Structure 1
Amino acid sequence: MAEKLLMIALSPTMEKGTIVKWVKKENESFTEGDVLCEVETDKTTMEYEATEEGTLLKILVPEGEKAAVGDPIAIFGEPGEDISSLLNENIEKVKSEEIKSETTERKTVREIENIKAKEAKFESISDRIKISPLAKKIALMKNIDITRIKGTGPGGRIIKRDVEGYSTATVSQATMLQDKLIYVETSDEDRIIPLSDKRRIIGERLSQSKYTSPHFYLTLSVNMENIMENRKTINNRLNEKISMNTFLIKIIANTLRKHRRINSTLLNDKIIEFGRIDIALAVAQENGLITPIVRNVDKKGILQIENELRELIEKAKNNKLEPEEYTNATFTISNLGSFGVDEFTAIINPPASAILAIGMIKKIPIVENDEIIIKPMMKMTLSSDHRVIDGAVAAIFMKDLKETLENPILAIL
């Protein structure tokens, strides 16, 4: 008997998936374990494997289209089966969704057109009235009729205090512009970009982290001269070069072993100090961010870490990471130094309780032994969850990490 092939959750946070490629074609048979199609989730691209044998009778969701978890994406069964009833069910559902989508889209377009019309009318009026640029912007955002405002500036010009002091009783009851759209110059065309599933999930997870976990931040500057020299010495003896991220990951792992509270999480009413050290490195993708993880870093040598990290980054860039390769890190590093960023603060990546933000290595003058000298310095900022980590605990960890980075020989202790 013919059945619907439903979209399943191929990652822990997946709600929708995009069909990247149909490996099996219509009227092609398959057995249990065969790959039917490739699906882009909110994080990566996964293979959808058949759980039983059959024949792919009809593809309902073509390549490039999305389907929510639980929605039918194809029909399978025995060759030659009548699937008209299943097709009619799907057609009715699609029609209903299209009507709903068109209604929403028309409403959105009308709202944007109304906002633009108000902006154009406002600009026309403001050209004939003396008003400062700042007062004009405030009036536009608050939807205030500037023809009713008496200016107190030079020559009767309307200024900021005139607009802010205007009685709220005379303000239009229409929804204010700032609730609809950020102020946009009318000479430019609006660009509407659909929110991808990946971007939506990133937003939800990081918003939850930011507003659930009380973050606090500690920043230190590190003299990277010794570690740069050590890296140069090692790379001169190897065929393949070791990245700075690999050195950082290894030294951070060794330091975390001595400061277990930094490598922990809050679960209900308990703090769990992880026995493993799994460090994630944030990697930018075209449509979001992903954090491939090197597991048990403290037990691995620097060459093994480099090889694993290189493979993981390559898979991340090609959307080929498996869920177990980017979920449940115990600590995260985000390095924006290659983009010329001096320092920044990062949002904690759950379930971890801390994340380290790394800035660029930059030669700057510092005072050493009462002399001004030039050294390659790097700023690092630790974001910590104050429910789990106290300020003094984080400070001691950062101090220890700084000393080890400046004197890498300490890593063997």
Structure 2
Amino acid sequence: MHRFLARSTKACVAGFHTSASRAAITRFNMPAMSPTMTEGTIHEWKVKEGESFSAGDVLLELETDKAQIDVEAPEDGVLAKIVLGNGEKAAVNSPIALLAEEGDDLSNVEMPAEESTSAATEAPKEEPKQEVAKPVVLSEPMDHHDLDTSKLKKPLSPAVLCLVLKHHIKDLSAIKASGPGGRILKGDVLAHLGLIKYQPAPKPTTSAAPPRDQIVFAKCEKKDIGEFLAEAKEEKPLPPNYISKQVTVDNLFALRQQLNSQNRTNVSVNDFIAKAAARALQDTVSKAPASSTGGIVHNTNATTFSESYKGGSFKVFNLAPPTYDFITDSYESSKPYQLNVSSSKPVSSGNTSTKSSDDDMLDLIGFLAGEQPQKEQPRAVRLTGGDARIDFSKQSKAPSHQVELKLQGGAPGKILNDQNASVFLDRVEYYVRNPSELTV
């Protein structure tokens, strides 16, 4: 419960009455509990007429629209007369009681004349309210077919149409339209009926942008084509999404030719590479299929069986790391990696390409001395237990054939950090270099 201490300088005004004995009668006004308060209701007087009180005692309980507040006495005195009783309402600064001092004659207490006149002058003057003629609202709305909308510039909105039908306004031309393009607004109908004061609608704004003279346009720096090309070269390229290796396939070609000639089969180079990839997948991933070409898918066509190798493409499943799905809160298998093998290209042997100048000098001296150059020894073929196994112990100085193994897939740079992908490509290179391991 809030407490309010009435100040004698604001709420009380001294005065005298015309009785024989002199008495200091003080007017106790309705206090203002807040800056916005205009009136209050006396909920209950705590002190009766003729009773004395001390400073700080609660005189009455005041009720406003927000709370109930206790009003305390500013100083010692006697409650001479209650002007407004319990439950009565009064404006702020209007008298609600008369206070006296101890020993005053309370037999003939009257409101001081100057107080009454001053109160009358200080009372707020209420402006006469203009009576607005309320339109007659009929019980049933009018049928919309009775409206003549041929002269309307804009169609009526649902709210305007409801008001027009409810108040039986047939002559729509009598309504002063203030909307954009001559549209009748809801406020226009209410003003026509006299329910509100007419006020034109604000002018519509077609754009929220400032005027053109206030717009500051950005100035573009002029650059020649050389500067643009230089800036383009400075941009960092995306990391590659593949790893690759160069592999010599002479041993694989020789084993394929030996098997096809002895066993009258037609095995392609891609069949060997698919088997090598499947074996490498088993060595890398524990959950890889145990079949000879499990997890490897490749296409076979007529060019696969030609003498010159044209390359091939293989899909490697179960090698890429799984991806996490935030929606299902689970891991899902990623897309398969792609193993692309380029066509075979003849390259010079390392023995002939790395000859030193001393070796060339020795050969020249031997030739001048009458020595005959040694012929190249052919490679020996060894058959063991019915399986065709080629002995590659003796190397040839003839040009060899190489292919590029390129494993790609995933986002740029992701495969570079995949340890399984690197191990898989190393194992494929091993089996292609040693194809006899695939016949075991």
> Same fold, TM exceeding 0.5?
no
The structure with the largest alpha-carbon Rg is 2
Kindly indicate which of the two structures has a greater share of residues assigned to helix.
1
- Using CA pairs below 8 Å that are at least 6 residues apart, which structure has the higher relative contact order? 1
TM-score (norm 2): 0.28
TM-score (norm 1): 0.30
